[in-house]
Amino acid sequence: MGKGGEKGGESGEPEAQIRFYTWEEIQKHNLRTDKWLVIERKVYNVTTWANRHPGGQRVISHCAGEDATDAFQAFHINPTLVQKFLKPLLIGELAPGEPSHDRDKNSQLVEDFRTLRKTVEDMNLFRASPLFFSLYLGHIIVMEVLAWLMLLYFGTGWITTLILACILTTSQAQAGWLQHDFGHLSVFKKSSWNHILHKFVIGHLKGASANWWNHRHFQHHAKPNIFKKDPDVNMLHVFVLGDTQPVEYGKKKLKYLPYNHQHEYFFLIFPPLLIPVYFQIQIISTMIRRRFWADLAWAISYYMRYFITYIPFYGVLGSLSLLTFVRFLESHWFVWVTQMNHIPMEIDSEKHRDWLSSQLAATCNIEQSFFNDWFTGHLNFQIEHHLFPTMPRHNFWKVKPLVKSLCAKYGVQYEEKPLGKAFVDIVGSLKKSGDLWLDAYLHK
């Protein structure tokens, strides 16, 4: 269990000053105005620093009062650099008698997962292939150029415009998967290079904001499918998810919408409107409100390039209509792929599980094939991606057998299904939650 009270004297202070804390004490410090967390048995007070955290203050707050060792290792590609920021925040260590893990987690499982991570590092599975990502970016740029050349040669007829919209939708969807790679720091060894390319791909190729994406997406990774912590399951009363939320809504007689029909109105509002309406409003308002001026400049460069390219062919109104139509199509692609791994899984309040168990409860895989890899941006390996977010996606298939055997050893369910079934399961789980809501609404 615990490794005893090793002395953290490396920060230069006399050893006598080291304070020891129990888990009982640490768990009290999980408030907005008072946040402690534990990394490798060292206790840090991150209260004032949280607002300066590059990944956003919310993601760090979600780990307050807990052992954040695995989350810390999962998100940072250069832990020694980050240690520089951690040193001044160190306030003590876990008391020698305290276990290394909070809340009766299975310490053997936790240690085995950390050993797996070490093995994966030794296998060089965190090293990216420059050729893979160069070709990937290349195929996106080729599609953008192809779309323009097509207009040049064939004009703006209906057929050409429809084919053009499909090509642009594909390049936008694929740029979405590529920005995800840079956002997770999985391409370059240096964080700064990942950040620059991330801003280029999400900003100049897609017209969105890197900071908006980071702050939102890292919360999802730290606490997937956990209400009040994962923004991806905050459905703003439009849908009820999982098994507990519908019953709560039903008992309280909350009926913002007829949730027993949510599996039907899902088709009308979620896939068509998420990107062109909801994300669009959120991205622009976040960039202005939070003063992400660099992101705004990148986004403006996207719109300038787009309109300079297409206004000569379609005029202002035609170009705007084309852009909206492309986002409408991309939104369908994005929603079905991103929801298939999570909505049918467990969605609940915080359970304080270990890293492996919490990620596996919220995540499932889709069968591997060349098409599935390309179509989903390797999110068909969602389990491996969630366990090792900074791993380059072309290596997921290599780590998969190791993850499966670790899950089998501890009886953790590892779920994998065909692409078609995954899509059907989204609608099925929405129907199930809607039925739970109706039953509680009428009878409880």
Cα dihedral sign, 361-367-368-373: negative
- Considering only the C-alpha atoms of the chain, give the largest distance between any 2 of them, rounded to a whole number of Å: 79
Q: Any idea where the domains of the chain sit in the sequence?
A: 20-104, 107-135+211-292+311-443
- pLDDT band at residue 84, thresholds of 50, 70 and 90? confident
- pLDDT band at residue 64, thresholds of 50, 70 and 90? very high
Q: What is the mean pLDDT of residues 260-282?
A: 96
Cα distances (Å, whole numbers) of residue 310 to 33, 201, 328: 50, 20, 18
SS3 for 77? coil
Encode pLDDT of 217-228 as tens digits. 999 999 999 999
Contact between 90 and 333 (Cβ < 8 Å): no
Q: What residue type is assigned to position 347 of the chain?
A: I
- In degrees, rounded to 5, the angle at the alpha carbon of residue 406 between the alpha carbons of residues 415 and 189 is 95
CATH dotted code for 20-104: 3.10.120.10
Q: What pLDDT does 32 receive?
A: 87
Pairing, β 20-21 against β 30-31: unpaired
Position 127 pLDDT exceeds 70: yes
Encode pLDDT of 384-399 as tens digits. 999 999 999 999 999 9
**Looking up tokens 């920060």, which residue turns up?**
11
- pLDDT band at residue 14, thresholds of 50, 70 and 90? very low
- pLDDT band at residue 13, thresholds of 50, 70 and 90? very low
Position 16 pLDDT exceeds 70: no
